[in-house]
Structure 1
Amino acid sequence: MNPSIFAQLVVLGMIWGASFMFQRITVPVIGAGMTGAGRMIFAALTLLGVLALLRKPLQWRARWRDYLVVGVIVMGLPLTCFAVAARSLPAGYLAVLNATVPLFAVLIGWGNTGMRPSTSKLAGVVVGVAGVATLAKFGHLEMNLATALGFAAALFASFLYAVGAIMAKQRYGDADPLVITAGNLIGGSVPLVPLALATAPSALPALNVSAALVALGILCTGIAYALYFRILRAAGVERAVTVTFLVPLFALIWAALFLGEPITGAALAGCALVLFAVALIFEKVPGLTRKPLVPAKEALCRE
C-alpha cells in the first residue's frame, strides 16, 4: 500500500475512533437527540462549504426525496441510535459494535439475492457474533436493562448502516459521493431538529461539551467523510474499507487516555474477535480460499 494512503487511513481511523469518545461527553449533558442533530448539522455545513469551494451543486431539487429517505436511514437514525447507546456503553464498546456493519451486510445480501456467501464470510458472521457476545457476557459492564438497550441500539444502528448502503447504491448509482453525503446529512437531520429542540437543555452546556459537539460534527463527520472519499478515489473500495480495522483500536485508546475507561481482557478479546470477523468477511485471512457463490437452493440440492 502507498505510504501516503496508509497514513491517511491511520488518520481517518484516529478521527472516527475519537467520535465515540466525544459522544460520551455530549450525550449525558445535552441528550441523544441534540447530539445526533447537532452532529449532522455541523457536518452538513462543513460539506456544503467543501462543495462550494469545489463548485459542485447539491442537486437538491432532483434528489430531495432520496436525501430525506436515505438520509434518515443511513445517517439520522443510526447516529441517534449510537448517541442513545452512548448513555450506557463505553466508547470502546460502541466502536466495536459499529464494526459489525459488514456482518449485517453479508446477511442482508444473502437474503436479498439468495446467493450463499463464501465460507470465509459466513465464518466472519459467526466469529463476529461471538465477539459481541464476549463483550456482553464477560465485559466489565453490569448487564442490566440500560446496557441491554445500549447494545440493542448500537446493533440496530449498524444494521441500518448496512441497509442504507444498499439503498444508496440503488438510488444514487455513480453519483458524486461527496454531494450525496452532504444531501443525506441535510435530509437526515430534518426529522431530528424537532427532537433536538424538545430535548435541548435549559442552559448552555459547558465549553468542553460544546467543543466536543463541534468536533463531532465538523471533524469526525464532515472532514472525516471528505477524507474517506479522497482515499476511496485514490485507493479503491477494498483498501478504503480497511479503516474498519483501525477505528475500534483507536476508540479504546482514546477512551482509556481521556475518559479513564478501562481496557479489560474481555474488551480486548471481543475487539479482536470482531476485527478478525471483519477480516474474514473481507476475505483477507491467508489460507482461506474463496468459495464460488451459488444460489442457496442449488447449494442445498448438491449437498
Structure 2
Amino acid sequence: MRISDYIRLLLLAAIWGASFLFMRIAAPEFGAINTAFLRVFFGFVGLAVILFAIKSSFNFDGKFKSSLILGVINSGLPFFMYCLAARWLPAGYSAILNATTPLMGALIGFAFFGEKLSKRKWGGVILGLVGIMVITTVGESHSTNETIAGVVACLVATGCYGVAGFLTRRWISNKGGLDPKTVAFGSQIGATLFLLPFFIWSTTTGPTINWMQGEVWASVLAVGIICTAFAYIVYFRLIADIGPLRSLTVTFLIPPFAVLWSYLALDETINQGFIVGALIVCVSVWLVVSPEKVRAIIKSEAVK
C-alpha cells in the first residue's frame, strides 16, 4: 500500500466515525426508515452535483444494473440497519459492532470467494476487535430485547458490507473497472429506489414527525452529503486500488474517530483506554493490511 492509501483510509475513518453521531441524533427524531432514506437520497443528490460540477461521464459501460444492486447491499440495507440500531444502542456500541466488518469480510471471502487468510491476518482482526473494546465505553441500554435487536441489526449491516466488497471486485473491478464516482452514483440510485417505497409507507402511515428541527436536518445533510456522497467516492476508489479486504479494515479506525468527535462535540471525556486502544488498533490495521509484503521483503533479503 502507498502512503496515499493510508491517508485515504484515515480520511474515510474520520468521516464515517462522524456518521454514527449524526445517525444517533437523527434516527430517534425522524425514524430509522426516514433517516436511512434521507441519507441515501442526499447522497445521491450530492454525488449528482459533484459529477455535474466536474463534468464527469455518466457512462456505466454495461454495469448500471450491477451498480444498482451494489447500492442495495452496500448502502440501502446497511444504512437502514444502523439507523434502526441507533434507536436502541449508544453510538459507541454501534461503532464496535461496525468494526466486525473486516472479520465478516474475511469469513465471507473465505467461505464464498476463495480468499485465503494467513494466521497473522486473523490475529490482526482479533487484535483490532480487542483494541476497539478497550476504546469504547458502552452505555446502558433500556432493555435486553432492544440490545439484542440492535446487535443483530449491526451484524446484518457488516455482513452486507462484507458481501458488497467482494461483489464490487467481481462485478466491477474484474470486468474492466469503472470510475469510482460512477459506481458510487449508481449505488446511491439503487439504494434510494430500494428505500423509497418504505419511506412513503413510513411517512403516510407512521407516527407524526416534527420535521422542523434544524439540528436534526443538519445531521441528515451531513451524513448524506459528506458521510455518503463524498465518502463513497473515496471508498470505491480504495477497493479498486487495494482490494476489498484491505478497504474493509477502515472500520478498525472508525471507533477512535467516533470517540474523538463525541469528545469535541459533546465534551465527553477521553480516558486512558482511548490512547491504549488506539495504539492497539493501529497495530492491528498494520497486521491486516501489510504482513504479506513485509514477510516477502524479509524473505527476499534473507535469500540475498
| TM-score, length-scaled by structure 2 | 0.77
SS of the equivalent of 2:210 reads: coil
- What amino acid does structure 1 have at the position aligned with 2:145? L
SS of the equivalent of 1:58 reads: coil
CA positional deviation for 1:206: 0.6
SS of the equivalent of 1:191 reads: helix
Deviations 1:111-156 (CA, angstroms, capped at 9, x unpaired) = 12555410112223444565678899x8443471112211221121
Question: How well do the aligned residues superpose, as a CA RMSD in angstroms?
Answer: 3.6
Specify whether residues 240 and 104 from structure 1 end up closer, same or farther in structure 2 by C-alpha distance, changes over 3 A only.
closer
Deviations 1:228-279 (CA, angstroms, capped at 9, x unpaired) = 567788xx53897775443221101222343466667778877776665444
- Kindly tell me the number of residue pairs found equivalent between the two proteins: 286
Partner of 1:180: 183
Partner of 1:210: 217
Q: Distance in 2 between matches of 1:42 and 1:115?
A: 35
- What amino acid does structure 2 have at the position aligned with 1:280? L
Contact 2:78 2:160 survives alignment (8 Å): yes
Specify whether residues 85 and 279 from structure 1 end up closer, same or farther in structure 2 by C-alpha distance, changes over 3 A only.
farther
Partner of 2:193: 190
Partner of 2:242: 237
- What amino acid does structure 1 have at the position aligned with 2:221? V
Contact 1:91 1:255 survives alignment (8 Å): no
Contact 1:100 1:128 survives alignment (8 Å): no
- What amino acid does structure 2 have at the position aligned with 1:38? L
SS of the equivalent of 2:20 reads: helix
Q: Which one is further off, 242-251 or 102-111?
A: 242-251
CA positional deviation for 1:40: 0.7
Partner of 2:256: 249
CA positional deviation for 1:69: 1.9
Q: Distance in 1 between matches of 2:237 and 2:167?
A: 22
SS of the equivalent of 2:31 reads: helix
CA positional deviation for 1:204: 1.6
Percent identity, aligned pairs only?
Answer: 34
SS of the equivalent of 1:158 reads: helix
Is 1:219 matched up with 2:219?
Answer: no
Deviations 1:186-207 (CA, angstroms, capped at 9, x unpaired) = 1111121121222234432411
Contact 2:21 2:262 survives alignment (8 Å): yes
Partner of 2:53: 53
Q: Which one is further off, 180-189 or 202-211?
A: 202-211
Partner of 1:79: 79
SS of the equivalent of 1:190 reads: helix
Contact 2:180 2:233 survives alignment (8 Å): no
CA positional deviation for 1:285: 10
Contact 2:92 2:259 survives alignment (8 Å): yes
CA positional deviation for 1:22: 0.3
Is 1:199 matched up with 2:202?
Answer: yes
The correspondence of residues 32-51 of structure 1 with structure 2, limited to 5 A, is: 32-51=32-51
Q: Which one is further off, 163-172 or 263-272?
A: 263-272
Partner of 2:98: 98
Q: Distance in 2 between matches of 1:21 and 1:247?
A: 12
Q: Distance in 1 between matches of 2:276 and 2:151?
A: 17
Contact 1:79 1:157 survives alignment (8 Å): yes
CA positional deviation for 1:58: 2.7
| TM-score, length-scaled by structure 1 | 0.78
Q: Distance in 2 between matches of 1:85 and 1:261?
A: 21
* Runs of 5+ unmatched residues, structure 2: 297-304
CA positional deviation for 1:51: 1.7
Specify whether residues 250 and 108 from structure 1 end up closer, same or farther in structure 2 by C-alpha distance, changes over 3 A only.
same
Q: Distance in 2 between matches of 1:78 and 1:241?
A: 14
Partner of 2:171: 171
- What amino acid does structure 1 have at the position aligned with 2:84? V
SS of the equivalent of 1:246 reads: helix
Specify whether residues 98 and 279 from structure 1 end up closer, same or farther in structure 2 by C-alpha distance, changes over 3 A only.
farther
- What amino acid does structure 1 have at the position aligned with 2:144? N
CA positional deviation for 1:42: 0.6
Q: Distance in 2 between matches of 1:130 and 1:180?
A: 34
Contact 2:102 2:251 survives alignment (8 Å): no
